[in-house]
Chains A and B, each alone.
Chain A
Amino acid sequence: MNHEQTQELLSDYLDGELDARESAAAVAHLSDCADCRAELARYRRADAALRAATPPPTALQTAAFVRAVRKRLEAAPEAAFLASWLASPRFAVPAFVLAFAGLIAAVLPPRADAGGLAEALLVARGGSGTYAWLSKSDAAAASAFDWEAP
């Protein structure tokens, strides 16, 4: 292995990622090349410096950290539960089906018997509420009913 090839593979060598043949060739070159040894030393030094820059937290610090996270979780349990529920397939699948059904309903042309829909909605809602979200034809059909509850 020549100088350039060894330089190219120094990082892999440092991490033990070379196969046996490559590793032996790298070692053979390193034993003869002071420049490559110096470069490898700098790689090691950089890795060590990065590890040293943030020493691992003590057990006490980790215990305090766990308490802090729990406190924040307890402060907003509903939000955390809602988010996890929204992220779960139990919610995602029905939500997708509903959204898809809504999309289909939105793109289909209004039906001639749209009044049937409006009537069904009125019955379902006990005769009060708003129908602003109905399509025009549905709304027109709905207006035929006594919309405002007494």
Chain B
Amino acid sequence: MNEPDDSELARRAGAGDAEAFGELIRRHHARVAGLCARLLDNPSDADDAAQEIFLRAHRFLGKFRGEARFSTWLYRIALNHCRDRRRAGARRRSVSLDALFEERGDATPELREKTLSGAAQEDAAAAQAMLERLPEGPREALLLRTQGSSYAEIAQTLDCSLDAVKARLRRARRALADDFRRQTSPASVQADSDGATS
């Protein structure tokens, strides 16, 4: 039997089917949680924000018409909620992967080591810090893209044109690449470069 698509689940959830709404949460938790974690200042904020985003979505399921994909509608709610929280004066996030993993319940140091190598941890922390310095548009576009959204989905979520999506992604990646260039030794760049063409 085919799995119901998101629109069908949203329709059922709007009619009071709690199991359908639970399935929608299961399908989209990872991406919503990822957006919150990278857009907000600390992991505990992120988990609470992710819950509130799903509560808000549940509240407004009656407004979902199925004209856009459910994921696009949900991510727009998520971005708006995160923007509201940031603007409400949440303190700036000091990048702390230890806090991140602790809060997510991931972990003992051993598990963390299995998840990210030392170099990858440094890169992740650096990328997060760089991300914080980007303007809102490029930052959100890149986050959506790295979470697997297509250009069309990003355009719908951010309510902008495809050309604007391309421009924002270029700007974000260029800024991050500039930061990496400044902090990377020539030897490792050469290694990266060789890897890129392999």
Contacts and interface: CB of A to CB of B under 8 A. Distances in A.
Interface of A: 8, 10-12, 14-15, 17, 30-31, 34, 37-58, 61-66, 68-70, 72-73, 80, 83-85, 87-89
Contacts of B193: 34, 37-38, 41
A84 B15 CA distance: 10
B146 A83 contact: no
Contact of A46 (B58, B97, B177): B177
Interface in B134-156: 142-143, 145-147, 151
Contacts of B58: 69, 73, 80, 84
Interface stretch (B1-9, B23-31, B66-74, B82-90): B23-31
A54 B37 contact: yes
Contact of A65 (B14, B29, B127, B147): B29
Contacts of A63: 26
Given A41-B195, A69-B54, 18 more contacts: A8-B170, A43-B173, A43-B177, A46-B130, A47-B142, A47-B145, A47-B146, A53-B97, A54-B38, A55-B106, A62-B29, A65-B29, A66-B25, A66-B26, A69-B55, A73-B55, A73-B58, A87-B60
B104 A42 contact: no
B180 A46 contact: yes
Interface residues of B, number: 61
Contacts of A45: 123, 180, 192
B115 to A, nearest CB: 5
Contacts of A64: 105
B33 to A, nearest CB: 6
A42 B97 CA distance: 22
B33 A17 contact: no
